């Protein structure tokens, strides 16, 4: 099975390394909107301009779209779904229905399969919400994120005047996690669920008090949270905060029995050293599913909810039943 | 959608209460091998003899087989799969391939769907093993069970001379769980992963030292574990150990990156007040899937690996994408 990557950022590089862990998958091409001669891949995969993508159409079983959800994917996924089996990690939750409709129409017109919103949230977290809800209809869902780097919040801090660089960590409140696991079904406010921690490199002579105040009072991003701000040097930021870890917890607490007398807790958690590399690994598994569905003659848009789990594995059903069931 | 139950023990009663949490599902009949007049259901569902099951064939969309894996299900599931869509919780891992083959042949001959080995292990634990392996091919799996009551081990203790009654708890070793979560990929022996705790009611005048020795040295069941034995009164056993809690942890620790430089931990855990009621709740969700697959014209045996997650939910795809993805 041959795959292509469109977009060579953190996610594209993650796909490049993940492919090497899957001996049934080969990476044939990287497509970029930049000048291809300016892009050098880590493992020597050839780089082409996106304008030449159509020429390699027959050499690519699944095209993995590695652009951003804000402006890239809403355009790219429907566009390429006309000609390729595609998969993306579109993560703007509120816009998933319209993205689905656009990709579905394009993929059906082209006789291709598109799988959208693949990763961990949306993705594995969504799957765990769905399974847990199907099993325990009388219950309550909780999702916690972190400890991990939020790219959006880090960017928001970087836009403040006088900030040279910054990293923001989202951190679940341990007491809130414990209360949920204890089965008491607590009502938790935004502030009670997560704290935020910022590591900020200030420009020379910048007013740190003002920067800290601007961070802590920033609407939507920080004002509803307890936020801690640390000013550090550029060297410290580079040495201690250059990774992109993330993770989180999906918990459903529910009751069964004739009088709801029995309590059950289903918990799924991720602790990830590299957010983009993990997302890439999920994308690779679902690329395999896209390829299989397409070979079966299926077309249109799918999500993780539609894919039989066995389609993610290179092993056949008999092997999986004997070794994993 | 109308379901029937075959076998009215802990699992059958669990199904009876779980049905009431799902307004798209109706329980029409309970079948028993006993004299039907001797069985009274908790919610007034009519009870029939298994010999009359065929007469109610057209009133039942899915028949849930609630017998035991040792002798009941290997016979019942293939037998009834000829005439009904069926689902079971067959849990003898080593015999799943042959059970699958028998149910597959019968269900195909009858034009029906059979889903086997549904519950939490096999079942939800298997699913989590599969997803985690598909995502992180370079990694290591760990399964821990408990804290919970092992029916098999409790029975083994009860068979010892001088034992009037007993309950056995399987308990994961906290240090082993922590080591796995720490990402050190430890090699763990049986003894290092779980301890066993027995609460025993001895017959009057029984030799407690001998009983304790027989428990601790029992091959397969206890000799490979550190086991604690408590002698208690019949009243204490009833007051403090009459529940059937269980649960456990499925963890995969894996690496990504060009040089395996990033570590990821995927963890799924269950904390269940009632093992049979939770298993029943999983069965109900998969009964819904069996019904849908059958309506689509599919036939043969399936497992949790083959079922698209969305088939477990009563809501449609658009709702699920908008609310759970």
Q: What is the pLDDT of residues A216-254, one digit of tens each?
A: 999 999 999 999 999 999 999 999 999 999 999 999 999
- In this prediction, residue B213 carries a pLDDT of 98
Mean per-residue pLDDT, A271-287: 98
- In this prediction, residue B46 carries a pLDDT of 97
Which DSSP category does B274 fall into?
A: B
Torsion over CA of A208, A209, A210 and A214, rounded to 10 degrees?
100
Tell me how far apart the alpha carbons of residues B279 and B107 are, in angstroms, rounded to a whole number. 23
Q: How far is CA B166 from the centre of its chain?
A: 21
Which DSSP category does B203 fall into?
A: P
Q: What residue spans of A159-232 are helical by DSSP H?
A: 174-181, 190-193, 208-216
Tell me how far apart the alpha carbons of residues A228 and A240 are, in angstroms, rounded to a whole number. 17
Q: What is the mean pLDDT of each run of 10 residues along chain B (325 residues)?
A: 97 97 97 96 97 94 96 97 98 96 98 98 98 98 97 95 97 97 95 98 97 96 97 98 97 97 98 98 98 98 98 97 96
Mean per-residue pLDDT over chain A, rounded: 97
Nearest to A324 among B17, B126, B262 (CB): B126
Is residue A262 a contact partner of residue B284, using CB atoms and an 8 Å limit?
A: no
Cβ-Cβ contacts under 8 Å, B309 against chain A: 127, 130-131, 134, 304-307, 309
Tell me how far apart the alpha carbons of residues A272 and B264 are, in angstroms, rounded to a whole number. 5
Is residue A186 a contact partner of residue A153, using CB atoms and an 8 Å limit?
A: no
Q: Tens of pLDDT along A97-133?
A: 999 999 999 999 999 999 999 999 999 999 999 999 9
Establish whether B170 is an annotated binding residue: yes
- In this prediction, residue B267 carries a pLDDT of 98
Tell me how far apart the alpha carbons of residues A87 and A101 are, in angstroms, rounded to a whole number. 15
Annotated binding site of A: 8-11, 32-34, 66-69, 89-91, 118-122, 145, 170, 196, 246, 275
CB pair distance less than 8 Å for B135 and A281: yes
Tell me how far apart the alpha carbons of residues B271 and B278 are, in angstroms, rounded to a whole number. 10
- In this prediction, residue A221 carries a pLDDT of 95
- In this prediction, residue A25 carries a pLDDT of 98
The chain A residue lying nearest B21, using CA atoms, is A137
Establish whether B199 is an annotated binding residue: no
The two tokens of residue B279 are 């298993």
Q: Give buried/exposed letters for A290-303 (b at 16+ CB in 10 A, else e).
A: bbbbbeeeebbbbb
Establish whether B32 is an annotated binding residue: yes
Nearest-CA distance A253 → chain B (Å) = 10
pTM for the whole structure: 0.97
Cβ-Cβ contacts under 8 Å, B308 against chain A: 305-308
Nearest to A262 among B262, B274, B303 (CB): B274
Question: What residues contact A74, with CB distance under 8 A and at least 6 apart?
Answer: A90, A95, A99, A102
Work out the number of other CB atoms within 10 angstroms of the CB of residue A9. Answer: 13
Cβ-Cβ contacts under 8 Å, B280 against chain A: 256
Whose tokens are 């029937």? That residue is B4
Tell me how far apart the alpha carbons of residues A295 and A289 are, in angstroms, rounded to a whole number. 10
Annotated binding site of A for NADP(+): 8-11, 32-34, 66-69, 89-91, 118-122
Cβ-Cβ contacts under 8 Å, B117 against chain A: 325
- In this prediction, residue B298 carries a pLDDT of 98
Tell me how far apart the alpha carbons of residues A199 and A167 are, in angstroms, rounded to a whole number. 5
CA nearest B5: which of B23, B29, B39, B35?
B29
Confidence of residue A311 (pLDDT cuts 50, 70, 90): very high
Cβ-Cβ contacts under 8 Å, A312 against chain B: 130-131, 134-135
Phi, psi of A299 (to 5 degrees): -140, 165
- In this prediction, residue A19 carries a pLDDT of 97
Task: Indicate if ipTM > 0.95.
Answer: yes
Mean per-residue pLDDT, A138-167: 96
- In this prediction, residue B80 carries a pLDDT of 98
Q: How far is CA A169 from the centre of its chain?
A: 16
Q: Tens of pLDDT along A259-278?
A: 999 999 999 999 999 999 99
Q: Tens of pLDDT along B259-290?
A: 999 999 999 999 999 999 999 999 999 999 99
Is residue A87 a contact partner of residue A292, using CB atoms and an 8 Å limit?
A: no
Q: What is the total residue count of chain B?
A: 325
């Amino acid at each position: 099975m041959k795959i292509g990557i469109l977009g060579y950022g953190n996610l594209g590089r993650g796909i490049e390394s993940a492919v090497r862990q899957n001996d049934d998958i080969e990476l044939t091409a990287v497509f970029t909107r930049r000048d291809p001669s300016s892009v050098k891949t880590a493992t020597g995969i050839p780089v082409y301009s996106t304008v030449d993508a159509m020429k390699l159409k027959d050499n690519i079983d699944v095209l993995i779209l590695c652009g951003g959800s804000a402006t890239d994917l809403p355009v790219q996924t429907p566009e390429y779904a006309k000609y390729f089996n595609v998969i993306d990690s579109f993560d703007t939750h509120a816009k998933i229905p319209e993205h689905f409709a656009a990709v579905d129409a394009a993929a059906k017109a082209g006789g291709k399969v598109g799988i959208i919103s693949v990763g961990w949230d949306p993705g594995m977290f969504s799957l765990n919400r769905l399974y847990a809800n199907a099993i325990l209809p009388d219950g309550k869902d909780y999702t916690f994120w972190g400890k991990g780097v939020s790219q959006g919040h880090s960017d928001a801090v970087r836009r403040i005047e006088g900030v040279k660089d910054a990293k923001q960590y989202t951190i679940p409140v341990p007491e809130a996690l414990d209360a949920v696991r204890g089965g008491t079904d607590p009502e938790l406010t935004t502030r009670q669920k997560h704290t935020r921690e910022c590591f900020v490199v200030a420009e020379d002579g910048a007013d740190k008090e003002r920067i800290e105040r601007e961070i802590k009072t920033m609407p939507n991003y920080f004002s509803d949270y307890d936020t801690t701000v640390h000013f550090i040097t550029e060297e410290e930021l580079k040495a201690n905060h250059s990774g992109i870890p993330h993770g989180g917890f999906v918990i459903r607490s529910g009751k069964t029995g004739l009088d709801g007398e029995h309590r059950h807790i289903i918990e799924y958690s991720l602790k990830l050293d590299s957010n983009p590399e993990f997302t890439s690994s999920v994308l690779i598994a679902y690329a395999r599913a896209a390829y299989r569905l397409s070979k079966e003659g299926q077309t249109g848009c799918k999500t993780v909810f539609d894919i039989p789990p066995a389609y993610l594995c290179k092993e056949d059903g008999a092997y999986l039943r004997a070794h994993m069931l």
